[in-house]
Structure 1
Amino acid sequence: MGYSRFISFLALISLANSAKVLVWSPLMGRSHVRFMARMADILVTDGHNVTLFQTIFDPDTVPLYNTLAQDIIVHHPSDWDPNLLYSFDYKTDQMFKRKEMLFRPDNAKNLLQVSLTQCRGLINDHDLILRLRKEKFDLIVFEIIDPCPGLWLQYLNIDKLIVASSYGMAPVMDSMSGLHSSPSFVPYLFRSFGNEMTYFERFENFIYAIFQHTYLQFVSSQLMLLAEKLPKLPNTQKLISPMDFLAQKTSAYFINANEFSEVARPVGKNFVHVGGMMVDEKQEPLSGDYARLYDSCPQGVVVFSFGSMVKMSNFPLASKLEMLASFKRFPELCFVWKTDASALTSDRSAAIFANVTSAMSNLFVRTWIPQQQLLADKRTKAFITHAGAMSTNEAFAFGTPVITIPLYLDNYHNSAAIVRHGLGVAIDKLDITETVMTEAINEIVYGNSSKTTFQQRANLAAAILKPHRHRITSEITYWARQVAEFGPLEHLVLNGTQLSLLQVYLIDILVPLGALLSAIVYGSVRLMQKLFKENTFATKVKLN
């Protein structure tokens, strides 16, 4: 009897300390979905009641149901155009033909359309809003893509927010937090600049910072205009600018990065780097086909994957054949190539690729690979990747040297970080040739014995990051409980959220100061000229 009462007492304590949490995941790539699902699982394990809310953002991404969340809601906006995202390079073969510019005029226009369409679909679903209001959530944790959440969450009457990003410090996160990272030494996330920039790189970085903030404010204003046109919902609080709402009510930030994938930059106490959260260090030894594959390659294996968001069928056949020609130069190594089924069966180029690969004894093509298991095996000598956040974190965790082929968005930033720390080399996606790939593999796998090798530096990075990864879960649960109980934590909101760009970059001080100094210099010069003329005139008079 006593034991039963003790168990009941513990259960009551657990129930008293639990919170009702809404985890909102926009479906825009399998890695993003898995990231937010893992966040939900961590919170459930900590004793919270979690609802995983998934909105259809990418038509190629399917909802995830394999989670510990007690409830799962999948939302299909009524007027969502499934082809809208195909206007972006990363969904087509254009990704391999040019460097994607997020704020190119057509991209900026399409990004605005995505934000407006998503928000319209969410706000118009009154049944969904009323259902979520009824739950009276204590906290919402959501991935930030655009300012739309800053509007929609006001309809839910939720003001305890934690923002997450599965791909580093998202631009909208940078602006809404009030940090306004200094463009003089903090490179823009979607560019390949290092922290040591040239004058022209700093100039370009500054322009991006200005445009980013201005664009997000413009999107925020357009969302407010949208809200004014939509049917009103009873018991909705007075709406404010989405960016202002996010700035005032967000109490913590979860960023999928670490000290090797992110540059050293100022951050607040409530910024938590969760890079490596998805890594499972306790990987089982390889078995079956992969065990036989690795056993047959005593000199080592090179793994090649472009992640879950890139269709290998969009990868140009010419680039594939150049890579295969390079792989043939290393008969002592084996190569595992992760592709998708369409790249093997869709058209004539797929047939050519399939014929070439089937004739190579040291190449193994798979439509799915146990990536973490392969990287955890010390016989993996290199990892060829697009440098996505998940793949980068996994390579760091298992100490695997990297050959990056950055394709889009944050890939360039991650790739630059890898090269800067000596953890790998980078190849331009527009310059994939047999020679370039061969040089990269030689440098990574064999290197220069007189210097610290890539493998040694990768092992050092893994050792440095390991203690931090072990603290990630406790950091997430700590902030979730703090915000659920005491949020919004307004004492952590930076005053930078209240400043204009003129004030943030001291332009309001530097311009008047520059004008004053110019006036002083001009006045001094004019005075010197006047004194010189008077002195010259006096001398002439004296001589006469």
Structure 2
Amino acid sequence: MWNPVLFLLTILTTVSFSNAYRILIVAPTNSKSHAILSEGLVKHLIEAGHEITYIPAIPPDKPLPRVTVIDVSDIVSPHPDEFLNVKDFMDRKFDLDVATGFIPYILAFSEQLLDHPNVQKFMADKSQQFDLVIVEFLFNTIHAGFSGLYNCPLIWFSPTHPNWMVFELIDEATNPAYSVGRLSSNVPPLNFKERVLELGNFIMEKLIQMVWISKSDKELYEKNFVPLIRERRTSVPSLETLAYNGSLVFSNYHQSLSVGVRAPPNHISIGGFHIDQNVKPLSQDLQELMDDATDGVIYISLGSNIKSKHFPSEVKRDILEMFGKLKQTVIWKFEEDLPNRPSNVHILKWAPQQSILSHKNCIIFITHGGLLSTTESIHFGVPVIGVPAFYDQFLNVERAVKMGYGRKVDLSYKIATGLDLAIQEVLDEPKYTAKVHELSEIYHDRPVPPGKDVVYWVEHVIKTRGAPHLRSPAFLTPWYQKLYLDFALVLLILVLVLKFAFRHKFKKNDLCNERNQK
């Protein structure tokens, strides 16, 4: 028997799935915060009906619909869990900078990921086809090879604040006179000393990129991608061609989080896209705890990499003693039980951070200064006290201080004293809360939520076959033309020709005069 309702539902379902695209997402950074961001991309795209193949350094906690995960979780991290020990940072035993820490880590993990049997099997499967590849960019471009393998458009995803390496993918490196590197703690506008330091850092990082990172990337590309591309097509693009042919960059950034940046049209700001539009409710006991905190809640978390349990015992004692003198309720994300704590201090081994920050009684967020945490503080309108340890945390906290919604405390053995002073200032000075509320209004005043922006631009790139109309003319202009060296060469040739002509003319006149005199 013909059922019109069933027929209509069938047609609608068919139409819906006919617009679904196959998308490959590669997230090669072995860090929980980066996994949260890449999973945010996955979730927005599957909610839009697309089919995702996902290569994550850290796999999702539970299966996701229409997501095929290429599991590489058995790769041994170059940095074990205990590597980022808070006590080591306090003792200044090492400084995790670009050359000694992050670049070797990124390059080593990239090689292990591509060599993994599951990835090798996946890449060798000629039945795999994709409409788009999305790749996280941190320092290297090797995973742009996937767009060459599947002959499809590429979107870069940058998890950090905009910097010259990111802009170079789609435009040109920004001028260090008004922009800073990804690990710099300087905040534009820059004074003379800061401009000189940024120029020096830019030159150093550029040299590292040219002589180290690019060399490693090319070797991995020749080994892992070139043979497979040759099996599928006659011509093999260079890795440089693929890396700098990205349609656009998704940037984990928003103007309310920092100073403005000079950006081309295909630099798309999606800062805050990882935050749930509908925050999950708190557990009953935590809800009651925060509801009853009439003097407010101070929430402290040092993120997923740095663990509070590694604080020296005397530092834990000092912090607890300081917290015990406060009227406020303190919720501390702490990885183990903490005995002899004051009655106003509550321990959570795992904390639903967004749900806590969204509660009206949360008045201060003590954070390590990760970009996800500082973004969430503005999203929910909670002033911060930053205790940075490494990477971009210093920059994020410095920006919070300069923008007026945060204080900075050094990670040292006197951290309890620093926290005490910072907490009292934020409590006594309403300007911090007022400023973060102002920034939160700017943050939320968008045409659409950032998650919808992600879906729109992904579909736009696929529909327009790579969105070539968004390409910056600066990116398409050779460096020698930007410097007018071709024009200078023409002028030089013209001057030489005129000089030769005049010399020849004068020499000819001199000869004529000599003959006439004779």
Quickly name the TM-score band, shorter chain normalised.
Answer: 0.7 to 0.9
For 1:131-142, list aligned pairs within 5 A. Answer: 131=125, 133-142=126-135
Displacement after TM superposition at 1:37 (Å)? 1.7
Matched, 1:247 2:249: no
Q: What per-residue deviation string (whole Å, max 9, x for no partner) do you get for residues 138-190 of structure 1?
A: 01122223324445315623331111123333664233223312211112221
Q: Is residue 39 of structure 1 aligned with residue 41 of structure 2?
A: yes
Q: Secondary structure at the match of 1:9?
A: helix
Query: Any stretches of 5+ residues in structure 2 without a counterpart?
Result: 490-518
Instruction: State the partner residue of 2:121.
Output: 127
- In the TM superposition, what are the counterparts of 1:223-234 in structure 2 within 5 Å? 223-228=217-222, 232-233=227-228, 234=230
Letter in 1 for 2:216: Q
Of residues 441, 446, 452, the one that matches 1:468 is: 446
* Secondary structure of 2:24's aligned partner: strand
Equivalent residue for 2:97, pick from 84, 92, 102: 102
SS in 2 for 1:24: strand
Partner Cα distance (2:301, 2:177) in 1: 34
Q: Are the aligned partners of 1:22 and 1:140 in contact in 2 as well (CA < 8 Å)? A: yes
Pairing of 1:344-355 with structure 2 (within 5 A): 344=337, 354-355=338-339
Which residue number in structure 1 is paired with residue 432 of structure 2? 454
> 1:246/1:91 Cα in 2 relative to 1: closer, same or farther (>3 Å)?
farther
1:153 to 146, 149, 157: 146
| Alignment partners' CA distance in 2, 1:494 and 1:327 | 53
SS of equivalent residue, structure 2 residue 290: helix
The Cα of 1:112 is off from its aligned counterpart by: 3.8
Q: Distance in 2 between matches of 1:104 and 1:303?
A: 34
Distance 1:145 1:394 in 2: 21
Aligned counterpart for 2:108 among listed residues 113, 122, 143: 113
Q: C-alpha distance in 2, partners of 1:499/1:413?
A: 32
CA contact (8 A) 1:247 1:493 kept: no
2:19 & 2:71 partners in 1: Cα distance?
A: 28
Determine which of 363, 366, 371 is the counterpart of 2:348.
366
SS in 2 for 1:368: coil
The CA deviation string for residues 255-309 of structure 1, in whole angstroms up to 9 with x for no partner, is: 1121132321111212221112122354466452213322443211100001222
1:87-112 C-alpha deviation (Å, 9 max, x unpaired): 99646753444484532446544544
Deviation at 1:360, TM superposition (A): 0.9
- 1:51 and 1:222, CA in 2 relative to 1: closer, same or farther beyond 3 A? closer
Shift of 1:120: 4.3
Kept in 1, the 8 Å contact 2:252–2:269? The answer is: yes
- Structure-to-structure mapping, 1:12-27, within 5 angstroms: 12-26=14-28
Q: How does 1:45-56 map to 2 (within 5 A)?
A: 45-54=47-56, 56=57
**For the residues of structure 2 that align with 1:11 and 1:188, how far apart are their CA atoms?**
48
Residue 205 (structure 1) shift: 1.1
Q: What is the identity, as a one-letter code, of the residue corresponding to 1:16?
A: S
Residue 158 (structure 2) aligned to one of 156, 165, 168: 165
Distance across 2 between alignment mates of 1:10 and 1:459: 43
- The answer as to whether partners of 2:26 and 2:143 remain within 8 angstroms in 1 is no
Q: Which residue of 2 aligns with 1:261?
A: 257
Task: Find the residue that maps to 2:216 and give its secondary structure.
Answer: helix
- Return the TM-score normalized by structure 2: 0.83
- From 286, 298, 301, the equivalent of 1:302 is 298
- In the TM superposition, 1:26-425 aligns within 5 A as 26=28, 28-54=30-56, 56=57, 61=58, 63-75=60-72, 80=75, 82-86=76-80, 90=84, 93-98=87-92, 100-105=95-100, 108-121=103-116, 125-131=119-125, 133-150=126-143, 152-153=145-146, 156-169=149-162, 172-218=165-211, 219-228=213-222, 232-233=227-228, 234-235=230-231, 238-248=235-245, 250-283=246-279, 286-330=282-326, 332-341=327-336, 344=337, 354-355=338-339, 358-425=340-407
| Structure 1 unaligned spans of 5+ | 345-353, 513-544
CA distance in structure 1 between the aligned counterparts of 2:173 and 2:325, rounded to whole angstroms? 48
Counterpart selection for 2:458 from 467, 480, 488: 480
Structure 1 residue aligned with 2:468 = 490
Distance 2:197 2:110 in 1: 26
More displaced 10-residue stretch of structure 1: 204-213 or 427-436: 427-436
- Measure, in 2, the Cα distance between the counterparts of 1:117 and 1:336: 39
Q: Which moved more, 1:394-403 or 1:462-471?
A: 462-471
CA distance in 1, matches of 2:190, 2:91: 26
1:528 is matched with which residue? none
Distance 1:404 1:301, change over 3 A: same
The more displaced of 286-295 and 359-368 is 286-295
Name the CA distance, whole Å, in 2 between partners of 1:224 and 1:301.
51
Residue type at the aligned position of 2:9: I
Pair 260,407 (structure 1): closer, same or farther in 2 beyond 3 Å: farther
* Structure-2 change in CA distance of 1:313 and 1:87 (3 Å): closer
Higher mean Cα deviation, 205-214 or 195-204? 205-214
Amino acid corresponding to residue 97 of structure 2 in structure 1: L
Could you tell me which residue of structure 2 aligns to residue 6 of structure 1? 8
From the superposition, tell whether residues 92 and 281 of structure 1 become closer, same or farther in structure 2 (CA, over 3 Å): same
Instruction: Please tell me whether the aligned partners of residues 257 and 275 of structure 1 are also in contact (alpha carbons under 8 angstroms).
Output: yes
SS at match of 1:85: coil
Residues 142, 220 of structure 2: 8 Å contact kept: no
Counterpart secondary structure, 1:135: coil
What is the CA–CA distance in structure 2 between the aligned matches of 1:431 and 1:498, rounded to whole Å?
A: 52
- Per the alignment, in what secondary structure is the counterpart of residue 429 of structure 1? coil
1:512-527 alignment, distance < 5 Å: none
Aligned residue identity for 1:340: E
Secondary structure, in 3 states, of the residue corresponding to 1:224?
A: helix
**Is the alpha carbon distance of 1:325 and 1:46 closer, same or farther for their aligned partners in structure 2, counting shifts above 3 Å?**
same
CA distance in 2, matches of 1:454, 1:10: 51
Distance 1:18 1:281, change over 3 A: closer
Aligned length: 481
Contact 2:221–2:239 (Cα < 8 Å) also in 1: no
Q: Name the SS of the counterpart of 1:235 in structure 2.
A: helix
SS at match of 1:193: coil
CA distance in 1, matches of 2:96, 2:485: 30
Cα deviation code 1:318-371 (max 9, x no counterpart): 4433322321331x1111110223xx4xxxxxxxxx33xx34111111101121
With 107-116 and 421-430 compared, the bigger mean Cα shift is at: 107-116
Native 8 Å contact 1:270 1:492 kept in 2? yes
Which secondary structure does the structure 2 equivalent of 1:221 belong to?
A: helix
**Cα distance in 1 between the residues matched to 2:95 and 2:481:** 31
